[in-house]
Amino acid sequence: MGDPIFFYLFATIVIGGAIGVVFLSNPLSSALSLIFSLAGLAGLFVLLQAHFLAAIQVLVYAGAVMVLFIFVIMMLNLEDCKKHLKVSFASLIGFVIALNLAIVLVMHVSAPLFDDGVSDKTFGTIEGVGQLMLTRYLIPFEIVSLLLTIAIVGAVILAKKDNPKETT
């Protein structure tokens, strides 16, 4: 099951990064904390024997997505947010409910152990995941491809500067 030290190390990185995202006032520092958090998550994925997913997490999330984020932050040249936390009554209630749910969860899920004997050699490899993705989960896979198409089209038509001739 791996060394507990690694779990605690990665868990600390994940949670510490998340705290950074939420509480730092500069968007760039938040983005950097998010990278830490996501990379730590990739570490947890490795501990859970999801090696392929860990690689994807680093490539797509900590890589591509975060580069996009930082690129936008740089482009907009944002300053620190003053008064960056705004607490309203309604959102406070929402948060308290969510916290309660989490506590209920922690209290009630009675620690079932991992069964250590994952006999399947392909567990977590690109072969195993790929096989499943293109057989059983083919339809969701296709829907995801549609989703990405829509997102690309959308990003282009939204962010593209208009032809000035069309301006009213």
Partner 1 sequence: MILLEHYLIVASLLFCLGLLGVLFRRNALIVFMSIELMLNAGNLVFVAFSRFFGRMDGQVLAFFIIALAAAEVSVGLAIIVVMFRKRGTIDINEASLMKG
Partner 2 sequence: MTIATDWNMLLVKGLPFLTLLGMGLLLLVIEVLWWGKDKTIMLILSLLAVAASFYFAWDQWIQNIPWSQQLLVFDRLSYIFDLIFLFCLLITLLISRDHIKREHIERGEYYALLLLATVGMMMMAHAGDLMVLFLGIEVMTIGAYILAGIKKRHSKSNEAALKYFILGGIAAGLMVFGIAFFYGATGSTQLSILNQTFAEVDSSQSVLIFLAVALILVGLCFKIAAVPFHFWSPDVYEGAPTTVTAFMATAIKAAGFVALFRVLFIVISLTHIPWVPLLSTLSIATMTVGNLVALRQTNIKRMLAYSSIAHAGYALVGLAAAAKDNQLSEMALGAIVFYMMAYAVITLGAFAIVVAMGHRGDEAEEISDFAGLGQRHPLLAAAMTVFMIALTGIPPTIGFIGKFYLFASAIEVGLYTLVVIGVLNSVVSAYYYLGVVMTMYFKEGAVYRWPPLAYLLTTSIFLTLLGTLYWGVFPKDLFLMAQESVRQVIF
Residue 31 binding partner 1, by CB under 8 A: yes
Q: Tell me the one-letter amino acid at 55.
A: A
Q: Which of residues 86-125 bind partner 2 (CB under 8 A)?
A: 90, 101, 104-105, 108-110, 112
- Tell me which residue has tokens 């072969």: 127
CB of 114 to partner 2, least distance (A): 13
- Is 139 a binder of partner 1 (CB under 8 A)? no
Distance set, CA 17 to CA 12, 21, 77, 85 (Å): 8, 6, 22, 18
Q: How far is the CB of 165 from partner 1 (least distance, A)?
A: 19
- Residue 144 interacts with partner 1 (CB under 8 A): yes or no: yes
Kindly state whether residue 9 participates in binding partner 1, applying the rule CB under 8 A. Answer: no
Decide: is 158 part of the binding site for partner 2 (CB under 8 A). yes
State in angstroms the smallest separation of the CB of 43 from partner 1.
Answer: 11
69, interface contact from partner 1, partner 2, none, CB < 5-8 Å by kind: partner 1
Asked whether position 55 contacts partner 1 by CB under 8 A, the answer is no
Residue 24 CA from chain centroid, whole number: 18
Separation CA 58–CA 64 (nearest Å): 9
For 137, other C-beta atoms within 10 Å of its C-beta total 13
Compute and round to an integer the Cα radius of gyration of the chain: 21
Whose tokens are 């009554």? That residue is 89
What is the rounded CA–CA span in Å between residue 47 and residue 53? 11
Chain contacts with partner 2 (rule: CB under 8 A): 90, 101, 104-105, 108-110, 112, 135-137, 139-140, 143-144, 146-147, 149-151, 153-154, 157-158, 162, 166-168
